[in-house]
Chains A and B, each alone.
Chain A
């Protein structure tokens, strides 16, 4: 159990929870969070948003009962968290773009901190959130609310791209990357139970067979993933 320092709304249904403690983790990894209530049963996988010396933060959207419970927790209350899990984004050298859509911006903040030279592209359907955190660490941040942020990205400019967001956004980016030498890594999402690779509940199809999002992922080179398989999640 760990103590919640703060749990505040950034926008309607969007919260940042800061938890006290000396936690490890790198860009693109996640923790399993559980409020301790008897329902829902399962912890929720949430990307690491930020890590400080004595705290860790999670940016999340209220989508169901599990995240609704998380949003009701107050500073001073306790939470169960286990992690870090997953592979995270790879360490790279060279030009880098970070492209996030909606909640998909969450796992990119640590990458922006690690690579201040990276160009950051943030797209939101209706309302932006968390942009200031990126602006504080990145030299270049482009934001689009409504429409597609992908249109502003020229993959040929970058050796590497890290992306997380809705499947149509990832598909558009993948298409745009075809024929360039840019290497695109995407962070995937799936319902999960165990978070550590045991239950096979989060498996996706890849070119090299089934892979567990929680263990071999959530980050994959885009060419490995059958993007159509990500639909319906």
Chain B
């Protein structure tokens, strides 16, 4: 009997396929194309304490086997998310993961405290709240906050520590490939009480408009995602999975069942689909079905059989 089920930091998921932050909205837009209940989980659009308009100018640009984005965390803010999106998200039978960013330490702490308080309140009313937090210390597209916390281990330590102090929710930290040392960063997260790490976020990258003799992006640099980054993401997941004992969620250019298997063999407990959602509108459904077929074909009853075997 095949089971794709997995458990990340105490949250049960029917399969290890999670939709990555920023590529799936809050799920609403996709429900016509992929039934959310098929998925292991959905990570909502990156949230900040206050609403954010995001970046000006070009936000999306394609490159060889990849995608550059400079959205800049446009989002409605935590309060509006809790009020307008969470009811709908928790109606679906899939794990709801809130991705939290911040311009400074206080913003991270306040945003996480609000979500935690809301989850506790809802629980007393027998209603589902946010199931898990993903701390985004790795967005390369905002001038303040985001990646600056995710590059230096000591800076990141303070965020993880303070956030851990104000939440009882399962806490996953999303790591940046731009970190000075991603393995050290992951070890630090585990020491500070994180329940898991997810990696990688986008690479800081660039594209130049030679006709206008300037960067395509207002912020000069943008975040690179997609198949182009997959081999590097896989290497980083492999390194981190060997260094920590908390679950590692693999992210980075995953676009096929074979990619999912590779990340699992490298040690990932679950994976996230990002850019591929844009390539294939029904990516989530396609990969869930494909993974099950692969397991049947290869006579793998549980992904535990192949996890971390490399």
Contact = CB atoms under 8 A, between A and B. Distances in A.
A112 B164 CA distance: 60
B278 A42 contact: yes
B154 interface: no
A233 B212 CA distance: 12
Interface of B: 22-25, 29-30, 33, 45, 53-54, 56-62, 64-67, 69, 71, 74, 212, 226-227, 275, 277-279, 281
A193 B281 contact: no
B67 A41 contact: yes
A41 B275 contact: yes
B29 A200 contact: no
B64 A39 contact: yes
Contacts of A34: 279
Contacts, number: 87
A192 interface: yes
Given A201-B69, A203-B74, A194 B61 contact: no
B281 A191 contact: no
Contacts of A197: 25, 29
B59 A200 contact: yes
> Which residue, B24, B62, B64, B71, has most C-beta atoms of chain A within 10 A?
B62
Interface residues of A, number: 30
Nearest to A40: B62
B60 A202 contact: yes
Contacts of B227: 38, 41
B281 A41 contact: no
30 contacts: A32-B281, A38-B65, A38-B227, A39-B65, A41-B226, A41-B275, A41-B279, A43-B278, A43-B279, A66-B62, A191-B58, A191-B60, A191-B61, A192-B60, A193-B69, A194-B23, A194-B29, A197-B25, A197-B29, A198-B23, A198-B25, A198-B277, A200-B45, A200-B54, A200-B71, A201-B59, A210-B53, A232-B57, A232-B212, A233-B58
Main secondary structure of the interface of A (DSSP, over half): loop
A225 B45 CA distance: 25
Interface string A190-214: 0111111111111101000110000
B54 A194 contact: no
B71 A199 contact: yes
Interface of A: 32, 34, 38-43, 66, 82, 191-203, 205, 209-210, 215, 229, 232-233
Given A42-B279, A82-B281, A198-B277, A203 B54 contact: yes
A219 to B, nearest CB: 19
Contacts of A194: 23, 29, 277-278, 281
Main secondary structure of the interface of B (DSSP, over half): loop
A153 to B, nearest CB: 30
Nearest to A191: B60
Contacts of A203: 54, 59, 71, 74
B74 to A, nearest CB: 5
Contacts of B54: 200, 203, 210
A200 B62 contact: no
B277 A41 contact: no
Given A41-B226, A201-B69, A196 B30 contact: yes
Q: Which 4 A-B pairs have the closest CB atoms?
A: A201-B60, A198-B25, A193-B278, A198-B29
> Which residue, A38, A41, A191, A232, has most C-beta atoms of chain B within 10 A?
A41
Nearest to A193: B278
> Which residue, A196, A198, A232, has most C-beta atoms of chain B within 10 A?
A198
A93 B61 CA distance: 39
Given A42-B279, A198-B277, A201-B69, A232 B58 contact: yes
B62 to A, nearest CB: 5
